[in-house]
Amino acid sequence: MCGPVSSVAGVVDLLTKENDFDLIFADIKIDGGTVFDAFNRCVPNSFVVFTTAYDNYALKAFKNNGIDYLLKPIDIDELEETLDRFERCSGSKYNQHKELMHRLANERVGPYKRRFLLNFRDELYMLETYNIAYFLKEDNGVVACDFSGKKYNLSYTMQQLESCLDPAGFFRVNRQYIINFKAIKNIYTSFLSKMRVSLKGCDDCNIIVSRDRSRGFREWIENIRTTGKSVWIS
């Protein structure tokens, strides 16, 4: 058994050095923020049981490898049920999934990410990077949206995505959006030199390119290699 660790910095430091625990018990609010702040910087490779006095983080907990959410004061019977659930989850099926998580989630083309491995109930789903139209920063975190309009929650920051996505295919146009070149439908300009981008499969997406990124965006569009598809600038 290791711990306790009581701060965001401490959790990040521990998981950076050793990220192969069987089970993590985590309070929500710790020194320096919340445990989710730490997990955003270093994703745990194990199941997590959240123990807290706050009942408004349950959904976020289960999106962060949570297998249970115990409210303080902790009931012993509930704790025993949680440990039984962990034993059922930690069999060969979980170990196989864990191996896949290491091998596939970090597979890159050169230094870049090929796919994202996502938790869906008791299964793992592979979301191919080339099928993602754009990434969007929302109030509750970052989501990836595919070309059909379906959204997937990610445990990444926008900065982390910028560093792991191939710049030949993706560009961050403002604080909220990273877009796929293949998703661009039209690009519009105004007399103030502002650019607005519309995306395929997203009728309500009219994305403003921030002024400080406009020049880089133009250079990206002009220099990116295409396969004969056109982008209209008007």
Q: Hey, where are the domains in the chain?
A: 8-90, 101-233
The fold of 101-233 is OB fold (Dihydrolipoamide Acetyltransferase, E2P) (2.40.50)
CATH of domain 8-90: 3.40.50.2300
Low-confidence stretches of the chain (pLDDT beneath 70): 1-3, 89-111, 121-122, 190-193, 201, 203, 225-234
Structure tokens at 153: 């929650």
Contact 185, 133 (CB under 8 A): no
Residue 70: the pLDDT is 84
Spatial contact of 58 and 80, defined as CB atoms under 8 Å apart: no
The two tokens of residue 49 are 């049981």
Q: Computed over its alpha carbons, how large is the radius of gyration of the chain? A: 21
Identical fold for domains 8-90 and 101-233, yes or no, is no
Cα–Cα distance for residue pair 68/217, rounded to 1 Å: 44
The amino acid at residue 18 is E
Where residue 85 falls (left for φ over 0; alpha for ψ -120 to 50; beta otherwise) is alpha
The per-residue pLDDT for range 77-125, each reduced to its tens digit, is 788 888 877 777 665 444 544 444 444 444 444 568 888 888 776 677 8
Residues near 172 by beta carbon (within 8 Å), at least 6 away in sequence = 158, 162, 178, 213
From the CB of residue 10, how many other CB atoms can be counted at a distance below 10 Å?
Answer: 16
